[in-house]
Amino acid sequence: MSAPAVASTPSPAHGTLHKCGDISATPLKSSIVFSINDRIGILDECLAAIKALSINLTRIESRPSKTDDWDYDFFVDFAATSSDQVASVVKALEPLAKQVHIVGTAGDTLPESTPWFPRKMVDLDTFADKVLEMGEELDADHPGAKDPVYRARRAEITKIAKTYKTGMPIPHIEYTKEENETWGAVFNKLTTMFPSHACREHQYVFPLLVQNCHYGPEAIPQLDSVSRFLKDCTGFTLRPVMGLLTSRDFLNGLAFRVFHSTQYIRHHSRPLYTPEPDVCHELLGHVPLFANPDFADFSQEIGLASLGASDEDIERLATIYWFTVEFGICRQGDKIRAYGAGLLSSFGELEYCLSGKPELRPFEPAKVAAQKYPITEYQPVYFVAESFKDAQMRVREFATSLDRPFSVRYNAYTESIEILDSK
Ligand code: HBI
Ligand code: NLE
Ligand code: FE
Task: Report in angstroms the alpha-carbon separations of 396 from 152, 304, 321, 384.
Answer: 43, 10, 13, 17
Residue 332 has pLDDT above 70, yes or no: yes
Q: For 248-263, what is the mean pLDDT?
A: 97
Dump the DSSP string for 247-269.
Answer: HHHHHHHHHTTEEEE--S---TT
Q: Most confidently modeled of 60-69, 133-142, 228-237?
A: 228-237
Contact 132, 243 (CB under 8 A): yes
Helix (H, G, I), strand (E, B) or coil at 417: strand
- Output Rg (C-alpha) for the chain, integer angstroms: 26
Backbone dihedral angles phi then psi of residue 150, each to the nearest 5 degrees: -60, -45
Give the contacts of 264 (CB within 8 A, at least 6 positions apart): 153, 154, 157, 158, 278, 279
Looking at ligand 2, which atom is closest to the CA of residue 276? 8
Q: For 37-59, what is the mean pLDDT?
A: 86
Give pLDDT, residue 145.
74
Backbone dihedral angles phi then psi of residue 141, each to the nearest 5 degrees: -90, 10
Give pLDDT, residue 21.
39
Give pLDDT, residue 139.
64
Active site residue 202: no
| Ligand 1 contact via 288 beta carbon (within 6 Å) | no
Residues having CB closer than 6 A to ligand 2 are 273-274, 277, 281, 326, 342, 345-346
Q: For 85-112, what is the mean pLDDT?
A: 79
- How far apart CA 123 and CA 145 sit, in angstroms, is 32
Interface confidence, given as ipTM, is 0.95
Angle (deg, nearest 10), helices 223-234 and 293-306: 100
Contact 369, 317 (CB under 8 A): yes
238 CA from centroid of ligand 1 (Å): 14
**Closest Cα partner for 187 from 69, 72, 324, 345?**
345
What pTM was computed for the model?
Answer: 0.76
Options 197, 286, 301, 306, the catalytic residue: 286
Comparing 28 with 34, the larger pLDDT belongs to 34
Residue 49 has pLDDT above 80, yes or no: yes
Active site residue 326: yes
Give pLDDT, residue 395.
87
Q: For 220-231, what is the mean pLDDT?
A: 98
Residue 8 has pLDDT above 60, yes or no: no
Per residue in 339-385, pLDDT tens?
999 999 998 899 999 999 999 999 999 999 999 998 888 999 999 99
Residue 12 has pLDDT above 50, yes or no: no
Give pLDDT, residue 3.
38
